[in-house]
Amino acid sequence: MKFTEEHEWLRVEGDEVVVGITIHAAEQLGDVVFVELPEEGTTVSKDDEVVVIESVKAASDILAPIDGEITEVNGALTDNPSMVNDDPQGEAWFFKLKVSDASQMDEFMDEAGYQAFIG
Amino acid sequence: MSDLNRTPLFDLHVELGAKMVPFAGYEMPVQYPLGVMKEHQHTRDAAGLFDVSHMGQVILSGQSWEAVATAFETLVPMDVLGLGDGRQRYGLFTNDAGGIEDDLMFARRGDDLFVVVNAACKTADIARMKTALEPEITVTALTDRALIAVQGPGAEAAVSAMDAAAADMTFMDVRDLTLDGIAVWASRSGYTGEDGYEISVPDAQAEALTRKLLAQDGVEAIGLGARDSLRLEAGLCLYGHDIDATTNPVEGALNWAVQKVRRRDGDRAGGFPGAEAVMAAFENGAARKRVGLLPEGRAPMREGVAIFDADAGGTQVGTVTSGGFGPTFGGPVAMGYVATEHSKTGTPLWGEVRGKRLPLTIAKLPFVAANFKR
């Protein structure tokens, strides 16, 4: 698993990556009450706002970590947003992305690097 | 956060694992490890304890109750003189335009008036009272007392376990209680829509009392986050958001708070700041009104969301002033102002969230029925 400075995790599955937010991010957000997912088939560029997530406190955007095409979204989150708090690094993945340029993955942190990043 | 004030319960909040945030000049607990949703629901199901010591507590005293009440009526459009001993009432400070400078609770304690005002307004409120009422009336800010709210269906059992007299109080009663040896002033009121008490206690005993209350069955510490969602579901105004210096009581749908005796043709009509404007609003109606707003989908509509009369184009007819997720309601809830012609319950309108018009309907307040002990 790789981690971004925006507190996302990425797990490689063949030529796709699965994207979610970290346990740390979920704790910071508090109870998640709303998730708006992108449409499958959407082509996105790195740093595009692709997911809106609202907690009891505020709305936040999840940015596309790399360029690619959204191949699948986790529709279960729409009906059950609290999954993001219950299992952020497992069941509560947000979307799968077909990677355009695998080299964009190189800049991301590994787990130890991310733990050091969040202190 | 070094320039922020702390309440006498600061160390206890930290010990309980609270996340502390700046609020109205104080470091306050926004949530505890339980989290906002569970804290909210625990308050509705059992009992929540809230530190509201940042609020302003003020005593007005004078030659007689009549002198104090008559003086206070020059600042608020409420029936103060008619308040029975040991009773509390909701009030508003108005300005010369009839706008609301703050909302408050006032209670008669013998010949004195005990006033509780919002933290963010307390300096201005105390100055307002001193300027207008002294020297005939003595205005004393109680800077050495904490205020603790215990709210929820389990509040009566928790508080009356420490002084049985608490159970005899009904909604908006105030009374001196002795809670496990600590002398307090209690009111049976709050800001959650639930039954409960607000307890004024000397700073020196605040932590001891709070620990005793938290030791009662079913009482959990609750932060400001849940306090906000509880009061929103209960349809209660947050000053500075749902009402402010530019909204009069009729626009704010607080007509009920202005007793008939202070309205036109009442025995003590007018005589408060902005009386003409407020009475004109009663007679002519207001161009806009505070209403409940029920988003149809799951997306919360928060403060500032613009409200339109069409799903595309159309005209902006209102704005959300408070909104979020209602944990007990089980979906997003909001309140705000809309043009009066769109304010009828059931009227369909649209809120613009992130550039998209999402449907909502005008809803009756509260979203969750009140649970007071009448």
> What pLDDT, on a 0 to 100 scale, did the predictor assign at position B158?
98
Of A28-32, B61-65, B101-105, B223-227, give the lowest mean pLDDT range.
Answer: A28-32
Q: Does B298 touch chain A if contact means CB atoms closer than 8 Å?
A: yes
Domain ranges of chain B: 10-52+144-233, 287-374
The edge-to-edge listing of strands for the beta sheet with A68-73 is A2-3, A8-13, A16-21, A95-99, A68-73, A43-44
Q: How confident is the model at residue A58 (pLDDT cuts 50, 70, 90)?
A: confident
Q: Look at residue B2 in the predicted model and tell me its pLDDT.
A: 61
Interchain CB contact of B324 with A (< 8 Å) = yes
Question: A49: alpha, beta or left, given left = phi > 0 and alpha = psi -120 to 50?
Answer: beta
Best A28, A33, A53, A85 residue to mutate vs chain B (most B CBs within 10 Å): A33
Tokens representing residue A101 in the block: 């340029």
CB B196 within 8 A of CB B155: yes
Peptide bond between residue B366 and the one before it cis (omega within 30 degrees of 0)? yes
Mean local confidence (pLDDT), B86-107: 98
For B114-144, the pLDDT digits (tens) are: 999 999 999 999 999 999 999 999 999 999 9
Mutation choice for A interface testing from B23, B36, B233, B329 by most A CBs within 10 A: B36
- Beta strands at B219-221 and B316-326: parallel, antiparallel or unpaired: unpaired
Given A30, A33, A85, which is nearest B31 (Cβ)? A30
What mean pLDDT comes out for the span A25-40? Answer: 95
Closest residue in B to A26 (Cα–Cα): B35
pLDDT band at A57 (very low <50, low <70, confident <90, very high): confident
- Predicted confidence (pLDDT) per residue in B224-267, tens digit: 999 999 999 999 999 999 999 999 999 999 999 999 999 999 99
Picking from B32, B37, B305, B328 by the largest number of A CB atoms within 10 A of its own CB, the best residue to mutate is: B37
CA dihedral for B4, B9, B11, B17, sign (positive or negative): negative
The domain defined by B287-374 carries CATH number 2.40.30.110? yes
Q: Where are the beta strands (DSSP E) in chain A?
A: 2-3, 8-13, 16-21, 32-36, 43-44, 49-55, 59-63, 68-73, 95-99
Q: Is the pLDDT of residue A89 over 70?
A: yes
Share the mean pLDDT of chain B: 97
User: pLDDT exceeding 70 applies to what percent of chain B?
Assistant: 99
Q: What is the mean pLDDT of residues B176-203?
A: 98
Residue in chain B nearest A56 by alpha carbon: B325
Amino acid at B215: A
- Whole-number mean pLDDT of chain A? 95
Please report the sign of the dihedral spanned by the C-alpha atoms of residue B195, residue B201, residue B207, residue B212.
negative
Minimal C-alpha gap between B37 and chain A (Å): 6
C-alpha span between B362 and B364 (Å, rounded): 7
B14-28 pLDDT per residue, tens: 999 999 999 999 999
Contacting residues of B for A34, CB less than 8 Å apart: 298-300, 325, 332
CB-CB contact of A84 with A8 (8 Å): no
**Rounded to 5°, angle at Cα A25 from A21 and A31:** 100
Q: Which pLDDT score is estimated for A102?
A: 87
CATH of domain B10-52+144-233: 3.30.1360.120
Residues whose CB falls within 8 Å of the CB of residue B312, separated by 6 or more in sequence, listed in order: B357
DSSP B217: T
Decide if A54 touches B, using CB distance below 8 A.
yes
Kindly list the structural domains of chain A, giving each domain's residue range(s) and its CATH number in brackets, ordered by start: 2-101 (2.40.50.100)
At residue B1 the predicted structure's pLDDT band, cuts being 50, 70 and 90, is very low
Residue B150: helix, strand or coil by DSSP? Answer: strand
